[in-house]
Structure 1
Amino acid sequence: YGPREKFVAWHQDVTYWGLEPPDAVTAWYAIDDSDTGNGCMQVIPGSHQRGIQEHGTSEQEGNLLSINQEVPVTEAEAETAFDLVLKAGEMSIHHGQIIHGSLPNHSTRRRCGLTIRYIPPSVRQAEDNSLKRPWKPILLRGEDRHQNFTTVPNPF
């Protein structure tokens, strides 16, 4: 990539959230169309089955991840990457341990999305997350018998 191009390096979500056990899924809701021209998300199929991979620091300038983390991916693995092309209003859901990232946006179009993360109530905050502040989840349904988090009121 060029020196000023922004991208999201290959990574696994749960590695920097501090959750134990690392059980989570992410829903990405496309506010704008997301395609290969504007750097849609890519996933490496089946990579979630390998468990948590060692992450290092990205050597490429422009990584948008909060702590500049990156999981090493071979060229052969990168060639298997699947583009998650979405129209505005569509959504993808991915496992917290799947290796994913996105290339730079080479178009003149915005690529905006809303990220929603889901964890079961049995998960707890075992260590600081990358933002160094506690998560404040919303209980979507049911009862939280574990009380591992301070929840915020459901807005709906």
Structure 2
Amino acid sequence: MESKSHDFFGYDYSELQLDKDWDPNESEVVEMEMKAGQFVIFLAKCVHGSLPNTSDTKRLGFASRYVSPSVRVYENIDSLSGFGDSISLDYHGSVLVSGEDKYGHNRLHHENLNGFPFPKVDTNGR
């Protein structure tokens, strides 16, 4: 497979582009250099990426999806498919990071797969 500048682990994400003719306006591109420990949060529809890591240290990114408990996450499916592969959702679950779940739509995990509990956020400021 020929490598392209937009390849990621061998996948060409430009193939998923809804509008193949879309070309971002370079004058609207914003670059942000992050210091160790800093983070940025994007809306799901914000196109984003990163420049190559030219430092001698490793860089790590997390992808998280925050939704209200009223949202049904992966409703009525047991796997995800794409790029010729399928991923089981057997171990998938949501984590309640704040508040309470009054809906019960999603499988909630209260501890990670190693048995360590997820900390609760005190919404009363205590």
TM exceeds 0.5?
yes
In 1, the alpha carbon distance for the partners of 2:54 and 2:35 equals 18
* Bigger radius of gyration: 2
Residue of structure 2 equivalent to 1:100:
48
Residue of structure 2 equivalent to 1:69:
13
Residue 96 (structure 1) shift:
0.8
1:137 paired with 2:81, answer: no
Higher relative contact order (CA 8 A, sep 6+): 1
Encode CA deviations 1:85-128: one digit per residue, 9 max, x unaligned.
21111110110111112233344442223333311112212455
In 2, the alpha carbon distance for the partners of 1:79 and 1:109 equals 30
- Unmatched segments (≥5 aa) in structure 2: 111-116, 120-126
Q: Which is helix-richer, 1 or 2?
A: 1
1:69 maps to amino acid: Y
Label 1:80 to 1:109 Cα distance change in 2 as closer, same or farther (>3 A): farther
Normalised to the residue count of structure 2, the TM-score between the two structures is: 0.57
In 2, the alpha carbon distance for the partners of 1:146 and 1:64 equals 38
Residue 64 (structure 1) shift:
3.6
Q: Which is strand-richer, 1 or 2?
A: 1
1:155 paired with 2:118, answer: yes
Helix, strand or coil: the match of 1:102?
coil
Normalised to the residue count of structure 1, the TM-score between the two structures is: 0.48
Residue of structure 2 equivalent to 1:117:
65
In 1, the alpha carbon distance for the partners of 2:69 and 2:12 equals 29
Label 1:140 to 1:78 Cα distance change in 2 as closer, same or farther (>3 A): same
Equivalent runs, 1:44-83 vs 2, <5 Å:
62-64=7-9, 68-70=12-14, 71=17, 72=20, 73-74=22-23, 76-83=24-31
In 2, the alpha carbon distance for the partners of 1:122 and 1:137 equals 12
2:33 maps to amino acid: V
In 1, the alpha carbon distance for the partners of 2:27 and 2:88 equals 36
Residues 84, 92 of structure 1: 8 Å contact kept? no
RMSD across aligned positions (CA): 3.1
Helix, strand or coil: the match of 2:25?
helix
1:112 maps to amino acid: L
Residue of structure 1 equivalent to 2:122:
none
Percent identity among equivalent residues? 24
List, as ranges, runs of 4+ consecutive aligned residues in structure 1 with deviation greater than 6 Å.
Answer: none
